[in-house]
Chains A and B, each alone.
Chain A
Amino acid sequence: MSDRDDTLVTVPLHRVAHGRAGDKGNRLNVSVIPYDSGAYPMIALQLTEQRVLEVFAHRGATRVKRYDLPLLPALNFVIDDVLEGGVNGSLNLDGHGKSNSFLVLGMAVQVPKRFVRPAPWETD
């Protein structure tokens, strides 16, 4: 892998960024933090509120609001009604919705190869 390889590749967001999900009431937040801050503008361009809403459509999500933190840098997605009744009413095994960070990290993004972390199962 070259540090300067600008070839665009499509990979799961997980290869470029990390994040964490938290819940309050029936509202979930998922942070997305690029490993390399250089990848932030491209990620911000591609991870629209609409795309994230689609990822949670099967869960009944009604609204996604994105907050940008370009200094950190990070994105914070706030997703409404995805917990299907909240931590106390949900029938989901993960009533808190804590595992949903990895639903977002499974989304595809297109970035220069230099921002992509090698997966352990790919190392030569």
Chain B
Amino acid sequence: MRNPFRVGNCAGFSGDRVDAPGPVVDTLIESGGPCALFFEVLGERTVALAQLEKRRDPLRGYEPMLERLLAPILERCAGHAIPIIGNFGAANPPGAARVIAQLALRLGMPDLRIGVVHGDDVRERIDLAALPVYEADAALDMGGGDIVSANAYLTARPIVEALASGAQIVVTGRTGDPSLALAPLIHHFGWRYDDWARLAVGATAGHLLECGAQVTGGYYYDPGFKDIPDPANIGFPIAEVGADGRLVITKAARTGGVVNAQTVKEQLLYEIHDPACYITPDVTLDFTRVSVRELAPDRVEVLGMRGGPAPEKVKATVCFDGGWMGEGEISYAGPNCLARARAAGEVLQERLRRRKLAVKARVDLIGVASVHDGDGGAKWRAVGGAGPDDVRVRLAVSARTQDDADQAAREVLALYCCGPAGGGGVRWRSTQRIRTQSYLMPRGDLAPGAWVKSAAELAR
């Protein structure tokens, strides 16, 4: 490929490996060509959790690992003209920008140009009663909770505007995940916003990279069936995009993991519904003609993606107060442990009934049946015989109030003295819940934009 533009990904979710960026930046610098870096750290409800954090402390509400992720690479990226783009602004992009500014000052970079994208927070302008609900969420019961956050998925455009204004790092809140990778490509190649064929290439690159290691052997590794080298040191992905629209997926040099036809296929279909119509804010993707070709070890070409017009309506995810979840766990092991665990589960459910706690409950027998079971416990109830030698009982409840959630979870604690023989290792907790529902907003209802300031200005 002649003169490709390289886009590296350094995070696929909030909670990703914090030492991922270094090798990606090393590889981009060694390539010597034009490139950019992006971080995707904002899951569907991460923004709501961040909003709750911001309620407690107005200075917070951004990606908590922000400094840890950026400190090792900020200087090198600025020094080699590698722009960084990330949705680490979460519920507070200006707050994240201030933290980056302070970091830049500590690193002796007062002139660092920091861009901030705004306009995704639509709490003030969204009218839920007037909007259609996103199809996949139509059956959800929101339980009448208060709105915690409402954020629309912005396009690549405000990021491109920030880059055009000289931003060396761009902080966004909610933006289409693929848009984070598409933006520097639009900026570099000067693609038009209706060049659907080119935008499809960039958005496909973004889609394949947005979950970080998931395209380089992470979440793929299945010992004996799908082995990968050095799974504790998986390299994060890099996309090479040619001016002609060629796309090759590779990864950071001198790292573990693998990029092969299988890893790319798994990620291509990740979170896809109709492959003929994968909607991103910038372009509608058609993957039905896609094929992949292994060019060399850890180099896979992706061909055949097609693009159509961007959607008229933009997805906005609204997060509601979802009450509380209470959880408690206790372990049983050794002779007759399945029967003791099963009895503990029955006792817990009887206790909730007796105490008339206003909760919806579920019991799991971890080690027998849990994540694949339904709320009714049909799978673990059907298991007979001696069973495994080590079982952990889990009670989970949802409740309107924290007190109900606590009281239900504490019934697991009470099994220490009142439950079947030999129970040990109780842990219990209650956590505030967020429920999300997505709506479709007319594009014209949004007013996205971006501003750029120096670190010195921002830290003042």
B403 to chain A, nearest CB (A): 18
Residues of B within 8 A of A76 (CB): 269, 272-273, 275
Which positions 64-103 of chain A face chain B at CB distance < 8 Å? Answer: 67, 69, 71-72, 74, 76, 78, 80-81, 84-89, 91-94, 99-100, 102-103
Given A72-B265, A120-B224, check contact A100 B45 (CB 8 Å): no
Which positions 14-50 of chain B face chain A at CB distance < 8 Å? Answer: 44-45
Q: Would B289 and A71 count as touching, CB distance under 8 A?
A: yes
A20 close to chain B: CB less than 8 A? yes
Q: In the complex, which of the residues A18, A29, A99 contacts B272, with contact meaning CB atoms closer than 8 Å?
A: A29
Q: Would A91 and B396 count as touching, CB distance under 8 A?
A: yes
Q: Would A67 and B134 count as touching, CB distance under 8 A?
A: no
B189 close to chain A: CB less than 8 A? no
A110 close to chain B: CB less than 8 A? no
Which positions 345-366 of chain B face chain A at CB distance < 8 Å? Answer: 360-362, 364, 366
B132 close to chain A: CB less than 8 A? no
Of B51-59, B332-340, B370-378, B416-424, the segment with at least 4 beta carbons within 8 Å of chain A is: B370-378
B379 close to chain A: CB less than 8 A? yes
**What per-residue 1/0 map shows which CB atoms of B202-223 lie under 8 Å from chain A?**
0000000000001000011011
Given A20-B269, A33-B262, A33-B266, check contact A89 B373 (CB 8 Å): no
Which positions 406-457 of chain B face chain A at CB distance < 8 Å? Answer: 433-438
Q: In the complex, which of the residues B45, B134, B394 contacts A87, with contact meaning CB atoms closer than 8 Å?
A: B45
Q: Would B270 and A84 count as touching, CB distance under 8 A?
A: no
Q: Would A86 and B137 count as touching, CB distance under 8 A?
A: yes
What bracket does the count of chain B residues touching chain A fall in? Answer: 35 or more
Distance between Cα atoms of A33 and B269 in the complex (Å)? 10
B195 close to chain A: CB less than 8 A? no
A113 close to chain B: CB less than 8 A? no
Q: In the complex, which of the residues A25, A31, A72, A119 contacts B436, with contact meaning CB atoms closer than 8 Å?
A: A25
Distance between Cα atoms of A24 and B319 in the complex (Å)? 14
Given A20-B266, A76-B272, check contact A58 B373 (CB 8 Å): yes
Which positions 9-65 of chain A face chain B at CB distance < 8 Å? Answer: 14, 18-20, 22-27, 29, 31, 33, 35, 58-60, 62
Distance between Cα atoms of A76 and B275 in the complex (Å)? 8
A43 to chain B, nearest CB (A): 14
Q: Would B45 and A88 count as touching, CB distance under 8 A?
A: yes
Residues of B within 8 A of A89 (CB): 140-141, 322, 398, 433, 435
Distance between Cα atoms of A87 and B290 in the complex (Å)? 30
Q: Would A84 and B374 count as touching, CB distance under 8 A?
A: yes
Nearest B residue to A106 by beta-carbon distance?
B372
Q: Would B271 and A26 count as touching, CB distance under 8 A?
A: no
Residues of B within 8 A of A86 (CB): 137, 140, 435-436
Measured CB to CB, the residues of B under 8 A from A are: 44-45, 134, 136-137, 139-141, 214, 219-220, 222-226, 262, 265-276, 287-292, 304, 319, 322, 325, 360-362, 364, 366, 370-376, 378-379, 394, 396-398, 433-438
Measured CB to CB, the residues of A under 8 A from B are: 14, 18-20, 22-27, 29, 31, 33, 35, 58-60, 62, 67, 69, 71-72, 74, 76, 78, 80-81, 84-89, 91-94, 99-100, 102-103, 117, 119-121
Q: Known pairs A18-B225, A74-B265; list 4 more (Cβ under 8 Å).
A: A20-B269, A24-B136, A25-B134, A71-B291
